[in-house]
Amino acid sequence: MKQVNIALIGLGTVGSGVYKTIGMQKSYIEHKEGMSLNLKKVLALNYAIEIPEALKAKDFYTDIVQDETIDIVIELIGGVNPAREFVLESLKAGKSVVTANKELLARHWPELNAAAKASGAGLYFEASVGGGIPILRTIWESLQANELTSVMGIINGTTNYILSKMEEDKAGYEEVLKEAQQLGFAEANPKNDVEGFDAMYKLSILSSMAFHARVPVEYIFREGITNITREDIAYGNELGYTVKLLAIGKKRGKTIEARVHPTMIPKTHPLASVRGAFNAIFLHGNIVDDIMLYGRGAGDMPTASAVVSDVIYAASQSRHRYTSFYNEANVSSELSFENNWECEFFIRILAQDSPGVLAKIASVFGRHNVSINSVVQKGQSGESVPLIFVTHRAKEISVKCAMDDIRYIPEVIKVANVIRVEK
């Protein structure tokens, strides 16, 4: 039976899950796959679980890089440094690397890919997007006959939990965030999740794989959920929408648009029913049409499932595959990236209840070629009232310009929110 010697770097939440999974499933994997996974060394600053002293690596280079018997290195410490050094040195030594590190891959993929190709090692990263959902290998190995033209997904469990609870409990953002932190769904510093950085890194990887073209994070529009209020969610509900932080990628010919932002989607859309910390990714291929993959997008064991699957897959390859699209530090000259995409918009404006204010706002929309689909006025006469507009499909820049002008209308107290709508 083939023995696969493994070094594990990082023993936090996911690392602990990988350690447990290899131990729990060892006999099953041997029976099913005909290989024995042998965890030879573990390197960590802090050991979240107890492991034998003999497994603890004292030095990365001596105990892992220079150990010729180690076949695969699993990197689970996250962030760019020192993870980048660990991954690069492992690849240069001819050791295949399995990682869940979306930020490292999104920012340094060309460098890592080149190092893997140069030594003939493998680079595997299924767990970097969607946790336990096998989305990347589905694109890589099951949808080869398709030109994928769109990806749209809920790929951050923290924000989906927060938005779901805000809707279910009719609660405010700060209140739900505090609850999410107490339950462990959100970090003490939640910026990476709630400001959309985590989803941006994942979309860079996901859209690159889907569109067969590298999509750097610098070309992805990003907006978080911190400005979403219970009022936005309530008014959206009345109009038949739910609010999700979506990662959206679309490809038309050689033009790609990639964006992460709060989005209103119809309650009839398959993604609308994804609640709590679950993830789901909706794909459209020109042959297969629409498909959606759903599951747990984070957590120790779901992510460990993807990591260990990559280990088995890597160990099964006689020759590793690498990205066949242009994957360099600079962007391919054949591609262009859209920053003036078109969609519908939900716009909430707080205005004085004065005669003619609605006509003034409508006139500004008209000047910027933004067509109004519907308008709802809330509140009673004599008060400041919220005006809820839903536009027809309009250009992003046109709507931004219209909002800039509307803010100067004397009767407008503020533009409370602008949320994109996707159907």
24-60 pLDDT, tens digit per residue, is 999 999 999 999 999 999 999 988 899 999 999 999 9
Digit-coded pLDDT (tens) for 293-319: 999 998 899 999 999 999 999 999 999
Q: Find out whether 310 and 96 touch, Cβ atoms under 8 Å.
A: no
CB 128 within 8 A of CB 101: yes
CA dist list (Å): 8 to 5, 42, 86, 339: 10, 5, 11, 40
Segments in the chain below pLDDT 50:
none
Give, rounded to a whole angstrom, the gap between the first and last alpha carbons of the chain: 52
Alpha-carbon distance values, 87 to 198, 339, 423 (Å): 20, 33, 40
Domain residue spans of the chain: 2-128, 135-296, 342-421
Q: Which tokens go with 97?
A: 């690397």
* Model pLDDT, residue 357: 93
Q: What is the pLDDT of residues 243-286, one digit of tens each?
A: 999 999 999 999 999 999 999 999 999 999 999 999 999 999 99
Question: Is 2.60.120.10 the CATH classification of the domain at 135-296?
Answer: no
Q: Which CATH number fits domain 2-128: 3.40.50.720, 2.60.320.10, 3.20.20.70, 3.30.70.3270?
A: 3.40.50.720
Give the count of alpha carbons within 13 A of 266, CB side only: 5
pLDDT of residue 302: 94
pLDDT score recorded for residue 185: 86
pLDDT for the residue 46: 86
Fold of 342-421: Alpha-Beta Plaits (3.30.70)
The residues annotated as belonging to the active site are: 202
Report pLDDT for 380.
62
Q: What is residue 56's DSSP assignment?
A: B
Which distant-in-sequence residues (6+ apart) come within 8 Å of 353 by Cβ? 379, 380, 381, 382, 383, 384, 385
d(CA 101, CA 408): 45
* pTM of the entire predicted model: 0.96
**What's residue 382's pLDDT?**
61
pLDDT of residue 43: 97
